[in-house]
Amino acid sequence: MLDYSTNRSLIVGWLSLSDPRLRHQDIQDHRVENVGEWFLETEEFRRWQGVSARSESDNAVLFCYGDLGVGRTFIR
């Protein structure tokens, strides 16, 4: 059984394998115009956007879930 320190080191090492700047640039380079536009026009999103805009806290979180490859990463 691994202790907390070992687990944490393994996880941090795994997360550090990819440079976030490179990943972000790759996503930017592969975006296609209007991908996910339908989502940004939904009533649910507009309602969430309105609440988070009026909120003074940073607690407004939008969680998007779905199958792999459906395009969540590329929504603007």
pLDDT, tens digit, 9 for 90 and up, residues 9-21: 777 777 766 777 8
Domains of the chain: total: 1
List the structure tokens of 37: 């536009």
Find the length of the chain: 76
Residues 23 and 69: beta-carbon distance below 8 Å: no
What's the pTM value of the predicted model, to 2 decimals? Answer: 0.47
| CA 7 to each of CA 15, 20, 40, 63: distance values in angstroms, whole numbers, following the listed order | 12, 22, 38, 26
pLDDT at 16: 64
* Band of pLDDT at residue 71, cut at 50, 70 and 90: confident
What are 64's two structure tokens? 């998007």
Q: Provide the pLDDT for residue 55.
A: 64
> What pLDDT is attached to residue 25?
87
Question: Domain range for residue 34?
Answer: 4-74
